[in-house]
Amino acid sequence: MRLAVRDLAHLLDTLALLLGWFWPLWDPPHRTFADMLLGTEARAVQCPAPPRAVQRRVVALVSAAAVLCAALGALSFFVVYQRDRANDQARTQLSEQGPRIVAELLTYDTKTLTEDFAHAQSLTTDNYRGQLIEVQQTVQKGAVPHAYWIPDSAVLAVAPRHGTMLMFLRGQAGDPPQIRPITATLRVQFAKPADRWLVDDLAFVPPPQPQGHR
């Protein structure tokens, strides 16, 4: 009740052109006109300080949380950096080695057919080697020289141990004067099971059909 009356008495402070609100600056007990009228006084409540053990524990927890956040941030940056760096290295390696690997895999000469086929098999993974051997056995009887090169290629997807490339293939087959040109588009899957890239799958991409063709 006394506090309510004190609040009403503060109207005196306002009615006196706010002088009552500035009076505490000169009054040692820092009382307003309402305080002097009702004999009240505003005092700051002193909260007891927490024990030193609690303070030290709070500081330790905050410090540990800050260190943990910094460590997690650094670890996340390191993992992302290492992954991006490995992907960039794989992309560079595939861009340089992929076209050469495919050209060597498809190229063979009738004079060195056995050696060329064996070399081609060494450029494949276990997953694709069986398919390649079947193709080699099919063309072995009526084999004619085949020479290929890759004038253009692009890396479609890459990971440290796997990658996919799209290649534009050019080549020629046969002996002079019966040499026929060859062009094709290939989609090649690569894998790196050990220390070098190998062909894991190879497929010819059919040319786009003209509009309206069914």
User: 87 and 184 in one domain?
Assistant: yes
User: 109 and 28 in one domain?
Assistant: no
Q: Which two tokens stand for residue 92?
A: 């560079």
Q: What percent of the chain has pLDDT over 70?
A: 71
User: 104 and 9 in one domain?
Assistant: no
Residue 191 lies in a domain: yes
User: 29 and 87 in one domain?
Assistant: no
Q: What band does 165 get if pLDDT is binned at 50, 70 and 90?
A: very high
Quick one: which of 78, 81, 2, 70 has its CA closest to 37? Answer: 2
How far is residue 26's CA from residue 95's CA, in Å, rounded to a whole number?
84
User: 196 and 98 in one domain?
Assistant: yes
Residue 16 lies in a domain: yes
User: 9 and 108 in one domain?
Assistant: no
Residue 61 lies in a domain: no
Vertex 106 angle, CA 100 and 112, to 5°: 105
User: 155 and 92 in one domain?
Assistant: yes
Vertex 161 angle, CA 155 and 167, to 5°: 25
Residue 136 lies in a domain: yes
User: 117 and 191 in one domain?
Assistant: yes
Residue 179 lies in domain = 81-205
Per-residue pLDDT tens digits for 172-205:
998 888 899 999 999 999 999 988 999 999 999 9
Could you give the number of structural domains in the chain? 2
Residue 63 lies in a domain: no
User: 157 and 93 in one domain?
Assistant: yes
Per-residue pLDDT tens digits for 74-132:
767 666 667 788 899 999 999 999 999 999 999 999 999 999 999 999 999 999 999 99
How far is residue 79's CA from residue 114's CA, in Å, rounded to a whole number?
46
Q: Which two tokens stand for residue 201?
A: 């799958």
* 124: Cβ contacts below 8 Å, ≥ 6 apart: 105, 132, 198, 199, 200
How far is residue 87's CA from residue 54's CA, in Å, rounded to a whole number?
49
What CATH number does the domain containing 112 carry?
3.10.450.50
Residue 53 lies in a domain: no
Residue 51 lies in a domain: no
Q: What band does 17 get if pLDDT is binned at 50, 70 and 90?
A: very low
Q: What percent of the chain has pLDDT over 90?
A: 49
Residue 70 lies in a domain: no
Type and span of the H or E element at 21 = helix 19-22
User: 94 and 33 in one domain?
Assistant: no
User: 85 and 20 in one domain?
Assistant: no
User: 100 and 181 in one domain?
Assistant: yes
